[in-house]
Amino acid sequence: MLREDLSKHPLAKTIEAIKAGDQETAIRCAQEIWDEGRPLHDLVGDMCGLLVTYIADKLGEEAVDDAWRYVGEQAWKPVLMSVKEQGTDVLVQIYAAFLRAHGHDFYVEQDEEKTVFVMNYCASGGRMIKEGKNDNCSRHPMNIGTTKEAHSWSFNQKEISYYCIHTPLWMDILPREWGWDVFESTFGRQFDEAGNPVNEPCKAIIYKKPRS
């Protein structure tokens, strides 16, 4: 028996419902597009955090910097450098799309100098803090490593998730090294030790003109 119900993507179901004028089904299937992807999104994020934790356990904490630099050079640099040719207005649009795709709760402020993304809830690193998955919390059996020392690549702070290290590297340090100094990022824990929200958002700034 052919199980089309298992293979058909909710997007296809949504389009079919819209064409058929079935608003209720279209709304339900549109929600399924989002809901269906969340478990995989969260699993991949946790996998990344655990992988760099394993690297740190085997090679030392400095290897976390090396690992994220390696991935950044291979995966992020080609993307960022292609955007550089189009300018920071395009970068703002792409970065906003990234945050929406992650499922962040954020707002954006813009002036003549810069665009500021304020993230009250980060659906990757912030989610891990909320769920107690880092090694500085005992609420979850998962233990994603956090920095034992403050580093330039850890927002100059201790207890930053090894997952979150890619942010100061990819959104600050490496672009500067690559010759496009338009990013600035700051860390906010977003949740306390019990997983309750606190008014400490993460922020990312994209300047319209390079700072150096």
Q: Quick one: average pLDDT of 131-156?
A: 98
Q: Residue 119 above 90 pLDDT?
A: yes
| pLDDT tens-digit readout, 20-72 | 999 999 999 999 999 999 999 999 999 999 999 999 999 999 999 999 999 99
71-101 confidence digits (pLDDT tens) = 999 999 999 999 999 999 999 999 999 999 9
Element (H, E) at 105: strand 105-110
Q: Quick one: pLDDT band at residue 212, thresholds 50, 70, 90? A: confident
DSSP state at residue 139: S
The DSSP line for 60-95 is: -THHHHHHHHHHIIIIIHHHHHHHHTT-HHHHHHHH
Report which of 94, 166, 105, 113 is spatially closest to residue 130, judged by C-alpha positions.
105
Taking the CA atoms of residue 44, residue 198, residue 101 and residue 13 in that order, the dihedral angle to the nearest 10 degrees is 90
d(CA 178, CA 81): 8
Which whole number is the average pLDDT over 135-162?
Answer: 98
Q: What residue spans define the domains of the chain?
A: 42-207
CB within 8 A of 142, min separation 6: which ones? 46, 50, 133
- Identify whether the C-beta of residue 68 lies closer than 8 Å to the C-beta of residue 160: no
Q: What is the model's pLDDT at position 131? A: 98
Mean pLDDT of the chain: 98
What's the pTM? 0.94
